[in-house]
Amino acid sequence: MKLKHYFFAFLLTGSHYAAGTDYNILDYGAVPGQWSTRAIQKTIDTCHAKGGGRVTVPAGTFITGSLFLKSHVELHLSPGSVLESSLNLTDFRVDNRTYGMIYCEDATEVAITGSGTIHARGIDFYERDKNHLFPEFDRSRIRQRENYMPEGRFFTDGPLKRKPRPGMSIVFFHCTGVRLSGITVKDTPIWAIRFGYCDNVLVDGLTIRNNPLIPNSDGIHCTTSSNIRIENCDIVAGDDAIIMTGFDRIENVPDYSMAEQESHRYGNKSPYAENIAVSNCRLKSSSAGIRIGYGQHPIRRGVFSNIIIQDSHRGIGIFAHDKSNIEDLIFTNIIIETRLYNGQWWGHGEPIHLSCISRFEGVRAGQIKNVQFNQINATGEQGILVYGLEESRLENIRFNQVQLRMRKGKETMDYGGNFDLRPATPISMQLFEHEIPGLYAQYVNQLLIRDFEVQWADDLPSFFTHGIQCENITGLSIENFNGTANPNAAGSQKIFLKNTSPPVGTERH
């Protein structure tokens, strides 16, 4: 692994806020239990105009629309304080744009701190008795055919159907020196926190409690940002919990432009989404606990350690579904528990998923390179998936000391026995029938599997098959594999190879 030793030097730097006056929102007209957007914004503006300081929200509930945070301002939520979302959508429309509750752009040295709560009232912007559904798979390709997500059924795991709603709840765009600590973010209608094109970010001790039925209610989403540390957080998300992507400002085009970054004073000036450290977090997600990928900018240099992912639809997902590459990632000391969710969520219960497949027609997908998984303890209702294409091969992927327990869940027969590569093109490759080994890998250059263990529950159906299945692998090494094929799948093998030379290394029974 050619990961530079110096790239976390930024962790030693700190943010410096203007020492000086506290500005209490009560002094500028905020009233507990009432709409207070104008008063809170006046407090922020005054603090900024006087060189910076701390805007204090005292105990009590204050109803607000969009607030615009500015350089050298710390928004401090005192114990017992709540910033509660207005339900009037016009409170989030400013200059013909829709915002969320807090927005900050092209600023430096900004913070949200304290032990109070930001309550976005997300469920009020959804229909609680209808599902969010959209055409993105071909049932003729799925194992269950027409019985897969049959029409007319309400799916209890969501996602719920959207109504008009505010934007992302907390957004920092093109900012340098951002600190979030201690606060609770609750029930957001879409992404809870977004760092877009930011640099030097610290997130410490946050609690995010989103509704797991709400689609796209991500936890902490870092897009084309650099030098980020996330630690000691507890996140429940109705989509991915912690995310590192390379999205451009316009997400659904194949390429990116540096003009967006060059037009702002602050933030990440590199073309990379890079340098992220995540540690000591607990995550629960209706999609992936940790997601790396999607987006036009290349992604590199990430360390994820001492993490618990529980009751999630996917554990760790790495997706090179754009032209850009993803490389130099290390995952260490992680406990993962996944299950199959019903409804139209991406993922199918994989503890670990890596895939290189384009989401744009005619565009070749990038590669995933130099990734390690060390000391992983996983329980799941699907196997580990490493899926490359001949033209987009993965490279130097390593599994060290991974324990995998395969179990049957309540949705296994209705959803299991399929690979989920969404988003992908063509539609036939998004979701399709496939046997489920403990670990499946295809089109990889240099794959190391060391001290790997697979255990099978005794009631698994026969579409769970081989212990390890490898196809079109160059440079396969398997050392100390402790496992078997699924005992209920006749003809399955402990190790099944296709277009792959016998592995270098040893194994034990």
- Which pLDDT tens digit goes with each residue over 386-400? 999 999 999 999 999
Answer for the pair 451, 423: CB distance below 8 angstroms, yes or no. no
The pLDDT of 134-140, averaged and rounded, is 93
Distance CA 330, CA 369 (A): 11
Closest among 309, 324, 389, 315 to 347, alpha carbons compared = 315
Helix (H), strand (E) at residue 319: strand 314-320
- Write out the two tokens for 123: 């469920």
Is the pLDDT score of 507 beyond 60?
A: no
Element (H, E) at 470: strand 468-482
Residue 428: φ, ψ to 5°: -65, -20
Strand, coil or helix: 472? strand
pLDDT confidence bin for 5, thresholds 50/70/90:
very low
Structure tokens at 50: 């006087």
Domain ranges across the chain: 1-120+166-266
Task: Enumerate residues 6+ apart whose C-beta is below 8 A from 54.
Answer: 17, 21, 22, 23, 47, 73, 74, 75, 76
Token pair 């060290």 in the structure block, residue:
400
Answer whether residue 4 shows pLDDT above 70. no
Instruction: Using DSSP bridges, classify how beta strands 384-387 and 207-209 pair: parallel, antiparallel or unpaired.
Output: unpaired
Model pLDDT, residue 154: 97
- Give the pLDDT confidence score for residue 288 in this predicted structure: 98
Burial class, 35, CB count within 10 angstroms (exposed 0-12 / middle 13-18 / buried 19+): middle
Q: Per-residue confidence at 109, pLDDT binned at 50, 70, 90? A: very high
Produce one character per residue of 493-507: b if its CB has 16 or more CB atoms within 10 Å, e if not: eebbbeebeebeeeb
Q: How much is the pTM? A: 0.95
Q: Does the structure show a pLDDT above 80 at 415?
A: yes
* Whether pLDDT at 447 is above 80: yes
How much is the pLDDT for 57? 98
| 19 band by pLDDT with thresholds 50, 70 and 90 | low
Locate the DSSP E strands across 86-225. Answer: 93-94, 97-98, 102-105, 108-114, 117-119, 126-131, 160-162, 170-173, 176-181, 184-186, 193-196, 199-204, 207-209, 220-223
- Mean pLDDT, range 484-501, rounded to an integer: 97
State what percent of residues in the chain have pLDDT above 70.
95
When pLDDT is averaged across residues 454-464 and rounded to a whole number, the result is: 98
In whole angstroms, give the CA distance from residue 161 to residue 222.
25
Who wins on pLDDT, 6 or 247? 247
- The encoded tokens of residue 200 equal 């030097």
Residues 17-35: what's their mean pLDDT?
Answer: 88
Q: Are 111 and 90 in contact (CB under 8 A)?
A: no
* pLDDT averaged over every residue in the chain: 94
- Token pair 């991500």 in the structure block, residue: 218
> Contact 261/226 with Cβ under 8 angstroms?
no
Backbone angles phi, psi at 307, to 5 degrees: -130, 140
Question: What is the per-residue pLDDT for 448?
Answer: 98
Q: How far apart are CA 443 and CA 323, in angstroms?
A: 17
What's the CA gap between 102 and 188, in Å, rounded?
12
DSSP letters of 66-93?
Answer: -EE--TTEEEEE-TTEEEEE-S-GGGGE
Q: Report percent pLDDT > 90 for the chain.
A: 92
Which amino acid belongs to residue 433?
E
* Residue-level pLDDT at 506: 57
CA nearest neighbour of 76 among 44, 119, 42, 35: 44
Confidence of residue 264 (pLDDT cuts 50, 70, 90): very high
pLDDT beyond 70 at 367:
yes
Residue 187 has pLDDT above 80, yes or no: yes
Mean pLDDT over 250-254 rounds to 82
Q: What is the pLDDT averaged over residues 5-34?
A: 69
Q: Which pLDDT value is given to residue 86?
A: 98
What pLDDT does residue 338 have? 98
User: Could you tell me if 221 and 245 are in contact, meaning their C-beta atoms sit under 8 angstroms apart?
Assistant: yes
Taking the C-alpha atoms of residue 509 and residue 506, their distance in angstroms, rounded to an integer, is 10
Q: Which has the minimum average pLDDT: 78-92, 127-141, 240-254, 344-358?
A: 240-254
| pLDDT the model gives residue 503 | 76
Q: Which helix (H) or strand (E) holds 63?
A: strand 60-64
pLDDT confidence band for 11 (50 / 70 / 90): very low
Helix (H, G, I), strand (E, B) or coil at 9: helix
Cβ atoms of 465 and 412 within 8 Å: the answer is no
Which amino acid is it at 220?
I
pLDDT of residue 7: 41
Average pLDDT over residues 206-231: 98
Q: How far is CA 180 from the centre of its chain?
A: 18
DSSP three-state, residue 411: coil
pLDDT band at 13 (very low <50, low <70, confident <90, very high): very low
pLDDT recorded at residue 253: 84
pLDDT at position 20: 63
- Whole-angstrom Cα Rg for the chain: 23
The DSSP H or E segment spanning 418 is strand 418-420
CA angle 94, 99, 105 (to 5 degrees): 90
Q: How far apart are CA 177 and CA 261, in angstroms?
A: 16
What pLDDT score was predicted for residue 171? 98
Q: What is the pLDDT of residues 333-359, one digit of tens each?
A: 999 999 999 999 999 999 999 999 999
User: Given the DSSP bridges, would you call strands 160-162 and 126-131 parallel, antiparallel or unpaired?
Assistant: antiparallel
CATH architecture of the domain formed by 1-120+166-266:
3 Solenoid (2.160)
Position 14 pLDDT exceeds 60? no
User: Can you give the pLDDT at residue 17?
Assistant: 53
- Contact status, residue 271 vs residue 256, Cβ threshold 8 Å: yes
Bigger pLDDT: 98 or 21? 98
